Amino acid sequence: MILKYLIEKEFKQIKRNKFLSRLVFIFPFMMLAILPQAANFEVKDINLCVIDNNHTTYSQRLVQKIAASDYFHITTISTDYRQALKSIELDKSDIILEIPGTFEQDLIRNQVANVMISANAVNGMKGGLGSSYLAGILAEYNSEIRVELMPSTPKLAQSGMEITKIFRFNPELKYKYMMVPAIMVMLLTMICGFLPAFNIVSEKENGTIEQMNVTPVNKFTLILSKLIPYWVIGFIVLTICFGVAWLFYGMWPKGSLLTIYLFASVFVLAFSGLGLIISNYAKTLQQAMFMAFFIIISFIFMSGLYTPVDNMPQWAQYISDISPLKYFIRVMRLVYLKGSSTADLIKPFLTLCGFALIFNTWAVLSYRKSSN
């Protein structure tokens, strides 16, 4: 019964704080509308600088074939390597393709010709993927030429194995489909992680926590009354997110909304528990803020939001295992894109429940009503 009044008090405090209540409504909207358009790691529109020292039909056909592909724009035609390198230094081009002067001669007479591909690999992803796309086009061109030059090639060498690539769940490989569900989780984390972290500490700084401590309310009820409002806020934020994702990107979960809400309820519980732990240990608001900031930003980066967890070194993967975000982001993507059901996701569900249990028990235990 007393819980009801305590919760009412929390809500009144949240409502009174104009900045906070605005944040809850506007922040998700803005972030989700803008960020997925920015978070685009698609490797295409690679700017190519061509040095064609050969100027024969063979070299020109190769250049045309590359220009016709979706990935490359030929932005610079250069005459020497030095000048081409300059264009890379100025970020005008990403890759240099150099065709040697003896290209045709080498190919026809010696049967082996070289071309040079120099990629700007400061961004390893772009450099690597770009040069392997280019090598792929080259290989295609190569087999075209081979068929032309020697029509009697054995069948085996020409066709061989047929490899088909199929991209499931996202056939056009749109990056936003990957980012939108993950950004929702990030929003939920920031709002439900930061705010509770500041709650108890700011009561400490204002001195009002003393008044709470001298009441007969027990620790458990007190913590619960702090948790529940953020739980409700989490649901509101999530619902806004669904709306925005549908409105802006036409994305609606393939799986059931209930699955997401179920996971979200556990996730928010776990994360606000973590926030409360921070606020129990911090003496000042400033400490709480820095701690919360560090923990949240680490969790976000380690969670596979931007780069897959599988790519990380083993020790980093262990760290990511203790980030609840990792599980929830995976679940969100699965439900949104693949329509996984709760039955498919029992393991992450139990893990998240475990987090919620541990964090909240810890929060209750570490809360001290009496000062020593």
Partner 1 sequence: MSKSTFSSERKKTPRENWNFFIAFVRKEFYHIFRDRMSMLILLVMPILMLILFGYALNTEVKNSKIAVYDPSHDEVTRALVEKLQVNNYFVLHKMLKSPDEVDKCFKSGEVAMIIVFSENFYENLLHGGHAQIQLLADGSDPNTASTITTYATNIIAGYQQDLLKMDKIPYQITPEIKLLYNPSMVAAYNFVPGVMGMIILLICAMMTSVSIAREKENGTMEILLVSPMKPLYVILSKAVPYFFLSIVNLFTILVVSVFVMGVPIAGSFFWLIVLSLLYIFVSLALGLLISSVVNTQMAAMLISAMGLMMPVMLLSGMLFPSENMPVFLQLIGDTIPAKWYIEAVKKIMIKGLGVGAILNELAVLTVMAVALISISLRNFKIRLE
Q: Interaction with partner 1 in 292-351: which residues (CB under 8 A)?
A: 293-294, 297-298, 301-302, 306-308, 310-313, 316, 319-320, 330, 333-334, 337-341, 344-345, 347
Decide if residue 48 touches partner 1 (CB under 8 A): no
Applying CB under 8 A, the span of 169-177, 211-219, 226-234, 356-364 interacting with partner 1 comes to: 169-177
Q: How far does CA 238 lie from the centroid of its chain?
A: 17
Which residues, including other chains, have CB under 8 Å from residue 362's CB and lie 6 or more apart?
273, 277
Q: Interaction with partner 1 in 193-212: which residues (CB under 8 A)?
A: 194, 198, 202
Are the beta carbons of 344 and 334 closer than 8 angstroms? yes
User: Least CB distance from residue 39 to partner 1, whole Å?
Assistant: 5
Query: Mapping DSSP to helix (H, G, I), strand (E, B) and coil, where does residue 122 land?
Result: coil
Q: Interaction with partner 1 in 271-290: which residues (CB under 8 A)?
A: 282-287, 289-290
Q: How far does CA 15 lie from the centroid of its chain?
A: 32
Q: Quote the Cα angle for 175-35-37, to 5°.
A: 45
Q: Interaction with partner 1 in 51-70: which residues (CB under 8 A)?
A: none
Which CB, 1 or 310, lies closer to partner 1? 310
Candidates 244, 245, 264; CA nearest to 188 is 264
Candidates 172, 228, 170, 164; CA nearest to 196 is 228
Residue 119 identity: A
Which CB, 200 or 360, lies closer to partner 1? 200
Decide if residue 258 touches partner 1 (CB under 8 A): no
User: Least CB distance from residue 211 to partner 1, whole Å?
Assistant: 19
User: Least CB distance from residue 279 to partner 1, whole Å?
Assistant: 12
Decide if residue 111 touches partner 1 (CB under 8 A): yes
Are the beta carbons of 272 and 224 closer than 8 angstroms? no
Which CB, 1 or 166, lies closer to partner 1? 166
Separation of alpha carbons 93 and 49, rounded Å = 6
Separation of alpha carbons 255 and 331, rounded Å = 11
When binding is defined by CB under 8 A, the residue of 29, 175, 235, 249 that contacts partner 1 is 175
Interface with partner 1 (CB under 8 A), residue total 115
Decide if residue 83 touches partner 1 (CB under 8 A): no
Which CB, 131 or 360, lies closer to partner 1? 131
